Structures are given as C-alpha cells and as structure tokens.
Structure 1
Amino acid sequence: MSATVPSTSDLLRVPGAQLHHEVRGYGPVVALVGAPMGAGAFEPLADLLAADHTVLTTDPRGIDRSPLDDPEQDSTPELRADDLSRLLTHLDAGPAAVVGSSGGAVTALALAQAHPEQVHTVIAHEPPLEELLEDRERRRAATEDIIATYLEHGSGPAWGRFLAEAGITMPEGEGPGGPPEATERDPQEIADERRFFLHELRPTAHWVPDLDALRAVATRIVVGIGEASGGQTCDLTSRALADALGTEPVLFPGGHTGFVEDPGAFAAMLRTVLPGG
C-alpha cells in the first residue's frame, strides 16, 4: 500500500451539526460515503482513487469528528443526504459520482432522490433496504430485538445479534465490540456504537426508497454486491433493489466491507463502473 495521499480537512457547519470532511487528489469528483463508517475507513480506497479523482470523504453527523448539537437526534437517510448535498455545494463539487456502502448507500440513494442534479452516478454497495424484502415484518421485529439487546446487555451481545441477523460470520475473537475480555475501549468507539444502535439502525433499515423517482432521475444508479456476500441480508436487499430498478447488480471483490478488506481490488473494480472506466 502506498503512503497516505496528502489531504485537506475542515469542518462545515450545517443545521444541528458540524461535518468533518476531507478532500484529496485531482480530477472528477467522487464522494465515498458510509454510515456508520466515517472517513477513516475509506482512507486506503480514497488514496488509490486520488491518483485521478478528487475524492471527498466525511464522518456522518454524530460519528467520530462530526459533532451534533443534540446527541439524541436520529440519523435518517434524508438528513444524511442533505448533509452530503451541503458538502457538495460548499465545495462546488457537483455533479459528482457518489459511492455509498451499507448505510452510506442508502444515503446516496436518498441524495439521488432529493438532489439528482448534484450526482450523475450512484454506486450503491450493499444498501440494507430491508423494506424491499417479503419478510420485512419479521426483520422489523429483529431490529427492535437488536436495539433492546443493546440497551439491556451492551454492545457485544447486540453486535452478535446484529451479525447473526445480517448473515455475517466473523472469525472467533474478531468483529465490532471488542473481545469479551477487553476492559478498556476507545470512548469514541463506544459513543459511535451507541449512536448506531439507538439512532441510526432503525431509520436506515426501515427507509423505503421512492422507486418511481429513482427510475425517473437522470442519475445513473449501479447496485453493487460483494462476491463473498451471497445469501446475506445485504445481498438480498441489493438484488431486490436492482430488480426493482430493472438493472443487473455488479459484483465487487470481498464481502460487505470489501473496500476495507482489499482496497486495491475494490478500487480496480470501481474504476470499471465509474464514468470513463
């Protein structure tokens, strides 16, 4: 892996929050968006793309370096999309390509609905759109159980329940929440977990895209799925979205976090679907 590419960082004041964001590279604009993952998770991928793109990364409101005025405010896809719209306007960076992963893919789709003039291409990598699935009622109940587990038993059991519901198997001793024997954890990690379970999980999983609007916009929408994600919840939701939009999903290396697992392979595949690829 090459050394980190120089970047500039700043805070943008938006209603109710400040948004930490970073810009690196030169060329066509591509925004890398996660939720709850922040800018740090995308750094290796951003460095690779910065060779011929201007790359925007950001911490979603309430996560890591993007503080909230009201820490109890929910993180809805519409609110995150508005934040991204304000960032693109502030940087005079549109229309842009937006690569969203997981909850960030939901953010990107919400942006395409609300501000299609700002985004010419959305690459939605594994959006957890559970309302598109036939067993949505069971999944709503499972989400409530995960949140209740967090409140009653803490992050370790909640992550275990979350990963089981998502169909993701982690190697023993790995995964979010830290090992059971851990006695000290990063306070920011704990705060970000709390925000995810109490204020982001439900609004993101329950978000219903306006399929008619997404079919009508000029924005090109690419649905991405990890090659290793077969049968997992986000494999199912992504295929349901692609089917509803009348498009074929594109397979990316790795699983749900393939851009972290192997950013080089992910970047190579991403270049084939970005404009000009």
Structure 2
Amino acid sequence: MTTVHSLPVPGARLHYEVRGAGPLLILVGAPMDSGPFTPLAEALADAYTVVTTDPRGISRSTVDDPDRDATPEQRADDLRRIVTSFGEESADVFGSSGGAVTGLVLAARSPQYVRTLVAHEPPLLTLLPDARERLAEVEEVRRTFLAEGQGAAWAKFLAAAGTPGPGPGPDQAPPPPPSPEQEANGAFMLGHMLRGITHHRPSLEALRTGGTRIVPAAGGTSSGQTAHRAAAALAENLGCGLTVFPGGHAGFAEHPAAFAGLLRDVLVRAPA
C-alpha cells in the first residue's frame, strides 16, 4: 500500500509517498520527481519503509516563490525534515544525480540523520580535472535557456553530460510535446536548480569524518559520461571504491529489480 503525504517546510510544501515497513530508506533525485523511483521503491518495500519525494519546486512539491533558486542546502534541510517527521533519528538514503548532492550536503552538515548514503552519479563538476570547462558548459546551457528556451538548452545540456538524446528513427513519430508539468519542471531546473547542483563543492573532510557511511556509485553503462566521472572523483577523494550499479544514469528506473538487489546488498554490507 502507498500512502501520500504533504509536509510544510520553510518556503515550500513537500510531496512524498511511503511504501512498506521496516528501516527508513529515502530515494531522492533532483530534478527528478518521485515517479521514476516507483518501481525501485516497490521492489524494496518488503524490507524497508521506502520514501520517495518530489524535490521543492518540482511537480507536486510547490514553492512559495517560484522565481527564487532552490539550493542543495535547502533540499538537504527538506530531507532532514522528512526523516524527523517519522519520529526517526536517521535513515538510509539513496540519492541519484542532484539527489546524491542533496544527500552529500545532509551527510556533511548533519551526519546523524544519515546512516548510509549511496551517492549515485552526483554531478559534482568541481571535483573534475576539467572543472573549468565543464562549469562553463553549464553557464552556456543557462544562457541558452534564457535566450532560446528549453529545447535548445536541453540539447546543450545532454551534449555536455555526454548523453545526447536519441532522435526518432526514420519510421518513428517524434515524441509527444512535453506536458505543462514537464515544461514547468524543466524551466525550474534550468533556471533555478542546475547551477546550484553542478557548482556545489562538497565538504570532503566533513564527509570523511562525519560518521555517515558514504558509498559513491555509478552506472555500468555510463562510463565516460560527466556524472560517472564525477562519482569516480568523489570515490577517489574519499579514499573508497566506486560501486557499479546496473544501467546508466537512470539505471534505477531502467533495471529496478537488479538495481534493488544490489542496493539491498550495499545497505547491509559491513563497512570495510
């Protein structure tokens, strides 16, 4: 059974969903909302109380001022508030992409709330040897969005990430136009989330010493892509290995059963 909840927080109202019973496990993305995490959540609900959530400003998590940026620090505080709303002292967290950055901020600032963080392909461009070039690409994506709109901006975003989207084949119809919600989510991401996520400088010393078990992770089919490289750089900086999960950047949605099996193993594995 899935229950739906709404939590007021400073500047926003968070939408989150709960499945299962057991230790608290939160699956979080940014800008991805809770929808694509549903198959993974259902695969884990036999052993965990699984929470999925829309980040502030995305889909059903509304913000008081849609013209203000939403920062990783705000989303980390939102995550903390979700944990404490259960009356729990801590949770395990699986964060993907910007959601992994959210988890890293919470683990650095308030490690007592996160037992294990699996940080799957956080796009921490500041850790890359070519950080200046990659951050300049982000600024170009944002300028393109402001000048030309989402279509041109997303094309540049995907090219910079190393994951250019496939076009329709010769016998295929073009994809349907985005829904109003997708349009709004895309605009909020490009205008108010992208820079904060990609420009974040993680507090490496706090992550090393804070007490949260950090598991950097990446997709088995995303090698060479920017977020995979950033995950590997995080692992190197923390002095630990990189855990490889099935699929690519969104492997949890592509292969939920296999992904859930490995995630279970990672969460119960004793630290080395």
Per the TM superposition, whether the score is higher than 0.5 is: yes
Unaligned runs of 5+ in 1: 1-5
Q: What is the CA distance between 1:119 and its match in structure 2?
A: 0.7
| Residues in 2 aligned to 1:50 and 1:89: alpha-carbon distance in whole angstroms | 20
Which residue of 2 is the match for residue 217 of structure 1? 210
Deviations 1:129-176 (A, max 9, x none): 0001121111221111101111222222211111111111333239xx
Which residue of 2 is the match for residue 31 of structure 1? 26
Q: Look up the SS of the partner of 1:269 in the other structure.
A: helix
94, 110, 114: which is aligned to 1:119? 114
Q: What is the CA distance between 1:115 and its match in structure 2?
A: 1.4
Normalised to the residue count of structure 2, the TM-score between the two structures is 0.95
Q: What is the CA distance between 1:69 and its match in structure 2?
A: 0.4
Q: What is the CA distance between 1:89 and its match in structure 2?
A: 0.7
- Write the mapping of 1:134-173 to structure 2, written as runs, cut at 5 A: 134-173=129-168
182, 186, 189: which is aligned to 1:189? 182
- Write the mapping of 1:172-251 to structure 2, written as runs, cut at 5 A: 172-173=167-168, 184-251=177-244
Contact 2:109 2:206 in 1 (8 A): no
Q: What is the CA distance between 1:275 and its match in structure 2?
A: 2.2
Normalised to the residue count of structure 1, the TM-score between the two structures is 0.93
Which residue of 2 is the match for residue 83 of structure 1? 78
Which residue of 2 is the match for residue 3 of structure 1? none
Unaligned runs of 5+ in 2: none
Which residue of 1 is the match for residue 126 of structure 2? 131
| Residues in 2 aligned to 1:180 and 1:147: alpha-carbon distance in whole angstroms | 29
Which residue of 2 is the match for residue 255 of structure 1? 248
Partner amino acid for 2:127?
L
Question: Which aligned segments of 4 or more residues in structure 1 are displaced greater than 4 angstroms?
Answer: 179-184
Identical columns (%): 50
Contact 2:30 2:98 in 1 (8 A): yes
Q: Look up the SS of the partner of 2:66 in the other structure.
A: coil
Q: Look up the SS of the partner of 2:100 in the other structure.
A: helix
Q: Which moved more, 1:44-53 or 1:135-144?
A: 135-144
When the two chains are superposed, the root-mean-square deviation of aligned CA atoms in Å is: 1.7
| Residues in 2 aligned to 1:35 and 1:86: alpha-carbon distance in whole angstroms | 17
Partner amino acid for 1:164?
A
Q: Look up the SS of the partner of 2:153 in the other structure.
A: helix
Partner amino acid for 1:134?
P
Q: Which moved more, 1:181-190 or 1:108-117?
A: 181-190
74, 98, 105: which is aligned to 1:103? 98
Partner amino acid for 1:204?
I
Q: Look up the SS of the partner of 2:63 in the other structure.
A: coil
Q: What is the CA distance between 1:252 and its match in structure 2?
A: 0.2
Partner amino acid for 1:220?
R
Partner amino acid for 1:255?
G
| Residues in 1 aligned to 2:76 and 2:191: alpha-carbon distance in whole angstroms | 19
| Residues in 2 aligned to 1:111 and 1:41: alpha-carbon distance in whole angstroms | 23
| Residues in 1 aligned to 2:177 and 2:39: alpha-carbon distance in whole angstroms | 27
| Residues in 1 aligned to 2:9 and 2:107: alpha-carbon distance in whole angstroms | 20
Which residue of 2 is the match for residue 14 of structure 1? 9
Q: Structure 1 residues 187, 223: closer, same or farther in 2, change over 3 A?
A: same
Q: Which moved more, 1:78-87 or 1:132-141?
A: 132-141
